């Protein structure tokens, strides 16, 4: 399982641990990933995703999974999230 957010594409970053004596050693900054279940209003189903805490706040701010995926760029989304986005778009066009 990769350490990458399925909705925003956030992944590990690198940097330095800097000691009091100013010694520098390489380290990794890992994203704060959580396993969550998000519900799609359009499809009436729930989906298990592994997303960052910041992405979860963004989903809430935008008004749910459907609204978030509608605005999200395809390059940032995982294959699973892209599949969900296309299902939602298909269901919305069928309903209209």
Residue 95: the pLDDT is 86
Q: How far apart are CA 93 and CA 96, in angstroms?
A: 5
Residue 1: the pLDDT is 72
Neighbours of 91 (CB within 10 A): 15
Q: What is the pTM of this model?
A: 0.87
Six-digit token string for 62: 């935008």
Q: Note down the domain range covering 36.
A: 13-95
Domain presence at residue 4:
no
Compute the 3-state secondary structure of the chain and give helix, strand, coil in percent, each to the nearest 5.
Answer: 35, 30, 35
- Number of domains into which the chain is organized: 1
- CATH number of the domain at 79, please: 2.30.170.40
Per-residue pLDDT tens digits of the chain, which is 96 residues long: 789 999 999 999 999 999 999 999 999 999 999 999 999 999 999 999 999 999 999 999 999 999 999 999 999 999 999 999 999 999 999 988
Residue 96: the pLDDT is 80
CB 27 within 8 A of CB 14: yes
Domain presence at residue 6:
no
């Amino acid at each position: 399982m990769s350490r990458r957010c399925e909705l925003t594409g956030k992944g590990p970053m690198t940097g330095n641990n800097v000691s009091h004596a100013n010694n520098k050693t390489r380290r990794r900054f890992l994203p704060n990933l959580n396993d969550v279940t998000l519900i799609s209003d359009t499809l009436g189903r729930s989906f298990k995703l592994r997303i960052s805490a910041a992405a979860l706040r963004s989903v809430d701010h935008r008004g749910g999974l459907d609204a978030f995926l509608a605005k999200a760029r395809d390059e940032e989304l995982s294959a699973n999230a892209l599949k969900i986005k296309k299902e939602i778009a298909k269901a919305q066009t069928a309903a209209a």
